[in-house]
């Protein structure tokens, strides 16, 4: 994904903008040295289904209850956008909880979804809800009586795939816009960055910078190589854009079953540990604690 709001083919050669960058404009095409061409078209008209309207309505009620103490907010305070990420909401004895399905179905991906495979997600969701017997009655009280039908009706065709895709049990992961669709350097949204790295935004120490800027201007996700207090200022690159030098280094390290590690005096390590080291420090390594 580009690290800017514009869409560009940065690796293309031939005609284009300054520095050989080819900016793709809606309606235009570009093929570079390939026999095929990329065409940008306006997004197809996307109507909001009645399933999604009902799911969002009840999700907002659930979040109001959770924010008032009847449960926890999964990814922090709003305002939220509802992400089609496999939201499995259940009511426990202490309040609402949201689990994540084995996979979520993004809205646009429903058009390649096999009903047989989606039905497996429905059955798994039904098993989870059955383990929390307060859930369906609580959803009834919030006006989402369709939950019973959704969980008990096999997914067999495009209509039932759509109903499941836009349901409370898939379409209502509450994320802020930055966490949902943000692009670095502003934010790393779940739509654009791999979950094994992105997920750390929700459990890392606040004073560790997960995302750093590389010398080529792209961004990488990094992790410490040692425990907090170890004094080790090296960082491991856990995600970098495919095709960049860092991305190639990560791929080669994985091929060899090794790690791609940046030294403690690199700008990236200094950025990652910036809030944990003295201002102006030349290394991210510090004396060990304890």
What's residue 207's pLDDT?
98
Q: Quick one: average pLDDT of 26-37?
A: 59
What's residue 252's pLDDT?
96
pLDDT, tens digit (0-9, with 9 covering 90-100), for 85-99: 999 999 999 999 999
Residue among 41, 37, 92 nearest 62 (CA): 92
Structure tokens at 47: 């109507």
Average model confidence (pLDDT) across the chain: 89
> What does the alpha-carbon distance between residue 3 and residue 219 come to, in Å, rounded to a whole number?
8
What's residue 276's pLDDT?
97
> What does the alpha-carbon distance between residue 263 and residue 268 come to, in Å, rounded to a whole number?
9
pLDDT, tens digit (0-9, with 9 covering 90-100), for 55-67: 999 999 999 999 8
Q: Is the predicted pLDDT of residue 156 greater than 70, yes or no?
A: yes
Q: Is the pTM of this model over 0.75?
A: yes
What DSSP string describes 93-135? TTEEEEEE-SS---GGGGGG--HHHHHHHHHHHHHHHHTSTTH
In degrees to the nearest 10, what's the CA dihedral of 16, 22, 28, 30? Answer: 90
Parse the chain into domains and list their residue ranges.
1-42, 50-175, 193-276
pLDDT, tens digit (0-9, with 9 covering 90-100), for 104-136: 999 999 999 999 999 999 999 999 999 999 999
Q: What is the DSSP letter of 71?
A: B
pLDDT, tens digit (0-9, with 9 covering 90-100), for 260-275: 999 999 999 999 999 9
> What does the alpha-carbon distance between residue 156 and residue 168 come to, in Å, rounded to a whole number?
19
Q: Is the predicted pLDDT of residue 32 greater than 80, yes or no?
A: no
What is the CB-side half-sphere exposure of residue 232 using CA atoms within 13 A? 12
pLDDT, tens digit (0-9, with 9 covering 90-100), for 178-223: 999 999 999 999 999 999 999 999 999 999 999 999 999 999 999 9
Residue among 242, 220, 224 nearest 233 (CA): 224
Pairing of strands 22-23, 29-30: unpaired
């Amino acid at each position: 994904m580009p690290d800017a709001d514009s869409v560009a083919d940065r690796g293309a050669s031939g005609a284009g903008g300054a520095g050989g960058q080819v900016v793709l404009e809606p309606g235009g095409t570009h093929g570079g040295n390939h026999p095929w061409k990329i065409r940008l078209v306006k997004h197809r008209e996307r109507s909001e289904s009645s399933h999604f309207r009902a799911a969002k309505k009840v999700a907002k009620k659930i979040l109001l209850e959770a924010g008032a103490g009847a449960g926890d907010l999964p990814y922090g305070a709003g305002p939220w956008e509802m992400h089609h990420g496999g939201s499995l909401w259940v009511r426990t004895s202490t309040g609402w909880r949201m689990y994540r399905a084995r996979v979520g179905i993004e809205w646009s991906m429903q058009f390649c979804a096999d009903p047989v495979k989606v039905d497996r997600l429905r059955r798994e969701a039904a098993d989870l809800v059955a383990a929390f017997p307060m859930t369906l009655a609580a959803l009834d009280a919030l006006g989402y009586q369709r939950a019973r039908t959704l969980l008990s009706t096999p997914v067999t065709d495009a209509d039932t795939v759509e109903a499941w895709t836009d349901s409370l049990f898939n379409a209502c992961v509450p994320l802020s816009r930055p966490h949902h669709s943000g692009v670095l350097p502003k934010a790393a949204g779940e739509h654009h960055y791999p979950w094994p790295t992105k997920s750390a935004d929700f459990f890392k120490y606040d004073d560790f910078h997960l995302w750093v800027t590389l010398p080529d201007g792209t961004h990488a996700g990094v992790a410490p190589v040692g425990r907090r207090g170890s004094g080790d200022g090296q960082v491991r690159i856990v995600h970098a854009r495919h095709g960049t030098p860092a991305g190639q280094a990560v791929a080669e390290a994985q091929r060899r079953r090794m790690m791609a590690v940046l030294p403690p005096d690199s700008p990236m390590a200094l950025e990652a540990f910036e809030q944990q080291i003295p201002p102006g420090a030349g290394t991210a390594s510090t004396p060990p604690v304890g």
